[in-house]
Amino acid sequence: MGSGHNFSYLATMFSRLFGRRKKEDSQYDNLPVPETANWGVLGADMHSHFLPGIDDGSKSLEESIVLLRTMADMGYSTIITTPHVMIDYYPNTTKTITDALHTVQAAIKEQNINIQLRAAAEYYIDDYFTQLLENEPLLTIHKNEVLVEFSMMFEPPMLATTLFNMQTAGYKPIIAHPERYVFFHRDLSKYQELKDRGCLLQMNMLSIAGYYGQNIKMVAEQLLSKGMYDYCGSDAHHEKHLAVLNAMGRSRDYHKITGYPFLNSRLSV
Ligand SMILES: [Fe+2]
């Protein structure tokens, strides 16, 4: 793509986004800002890293308990937590995940924390994932739906093939935080392609808060306004993420998220 084309594309995208945002903001201006964060209307959170010591999320059982108590305080009734499965960094298996899950489930019961905790995984698409797919059942979010992520730096060459192979094996891919893959930003039709391939799209709530930067926020708002998302998730790893989620719950961003028909509520028990 030449630089002239790039510039006109960006100019068009920004004018569309700013035009749309102005309209959206005025739509939310009339709604009250909540005094306390209550995400209970979503019911379930389906993307987080709350199991201790097995990925880059919670580091200890104590931290897991604090994080889950905070989620319960913010109104969530169900958490499907999703440790990374990434061979080079977090070589988790169904066993490492379910063992950690059982430990945390026992602790929340003992401490009377009113939340249902389940576990699935966030699978990183690479050659190892291809092997996993061929050799063992995957952990699912709901029915046959499997949460996947991939490199944020470049589009993996095997992406389309892997998504196709997942579907052939009977799974429905949920693409984690599509707004964070910056190589898609230059061509927003890539998102429609993923939808057309039968993938579900999961928005990170923190993207709307601008936590990952303005470009990611703008793309998330655009996908949201076009109705392209299916699920939303906190993707919370630690208390700082939950503090942002809490602040969002006391801002007009609350309405942007709760006003959208996310499928999360079908996950709550
Ligand atoms: Fe994640």
| Res 21 pLDDT > 50 | no
Distance 256 CA to ligand 1 centre (A): 21
Give the pLDDT of residue 2.
39
**What does pLDDT average to over the chain?**
91
High-pLDDT (> 70) share of the chain, %: 90
Is residue 201 included in any domain, yes or no? yes
Give 122 Cα–ligand 1 centroid separation in angstroms.
6
Of the candidates 57, 72, 70, 137, the residue with the CA atom closest to the CA atom of residue 268: 72
In a domain? residue 83: yes
Give residue 150's pLDDT.
Answer: 97
CA of 45 to the centre of ligand 1 (A): 12
Any idea which of 18-27, 35-44, 147-156, 158-167 has the lowest mean pLDDT? Answer: 18-27
Q: Measure the CA–CA gap between 253 and 257, rounded to whole angstroms.
A: 6
In a domain, 2, yes or no: no
Tell me, in angstroms, the distance from the centre of ligand 1 to residue 13's CA.
Answer: 28
Distance 104 CA to ligand 1 centre (A): 19
The structure's pTM equals 0.89
pLDDT at 156 exceeding the cut of 70: yes
Distance 82 CA to ligand 1 centre (A): 7
In a domain, 15, yes or no: no
Higher pLDDT, 112 or 9: 112
Pair type for strands 122-124 and 84-85: parallel
The gap from C-alpha 166 to its chain's centroid, in whole angstroms, comes to 19
Question: 25 falls in which pLDDT band (50, 70, 90)?
Answer: low
Model pLDDT, residue 11: 45
Strands (E) in 40-109, as ranges, are 44-45, 78-81, 84-85
Q: What is the pLDDT of residue 26?
A: 58
Q: What is residue 232's three-state secondary structure?
A: strand
Q: How far is ligand 1, taken at its centre, from the CA of residue 5, in Å?
A: 34
Q: Furthest-apart CA pair in the chain: how many Å?
A: 62
Between the CA of 49 and the centroid of ligand 1 the distance, in Å, is 7
- Distance (angstroms) between ligand 1 centre and the Cα of 164 equals 22
235: CA distance to ligand 1 center in Å? 5
Residue 9 pLDDT exceeds 60: no
Q: Is the pLDDT of residue 155 over 90?
A: yes
**Residue 143 domain-assigned?**
yes
Q: Looking at residue 8, what is its pLDDT? A: 45
Domain count, the chain: 1
CB 155 within 8 A of CB 146: no
Q: What pLDDT, on the 0 to 100 scale, is given for residue 124?
A: 98
CA distance 44 to 266: 8
Q: Is the pLDDT of residue 136 over 60?
A: yes
In this prediction, residue 193 has a pLDDT band, given cuts at 50, 70 and 90, of: very high
Q: What is the mean predicted confidence (pLDDT) over 138-159?
A: 96
Q: What is the CATH number of the domain that holds 92?
A: 3.20.20.140
Q: What's the 9 CA to ligand 1 centre distance in angstroms?
A: 30
- Could you tell me if residue 20 is inside a domain? no
For the record, the structure tokens of 131 come out as 């092997």
Residue whose token pair is 């999961």: 202
Residue 251 lies in a domain: yes
Residue 23, pLDDT above cutoff 60: no
Residue 3: per-residue pLDDT = 40
Q: 147 lies in which domain range?
A: 34-261
Q: What is the 226 CA–ligand 1 centroid distance (Å)?
A: 23
17 within domain boundaries: no
155 against 26, higher pLDDT: 155
Per-residue model confidence (pLDDT) at position 33 = 87
Å from CA of 30 to ligand 1 middle: 33
**What would the mean pLDDT of 4-13 be, rounded to a whole number?**
46
Lowest mean pLDDT among 6-20, 147-161, 212-226: 6-20
pLDDT higher than 80, residue 29? no
Amino acid 35: pLDDT: 86
Q: How far is the CA of 6 from the centre of ligand 1 (A)?
A: 31
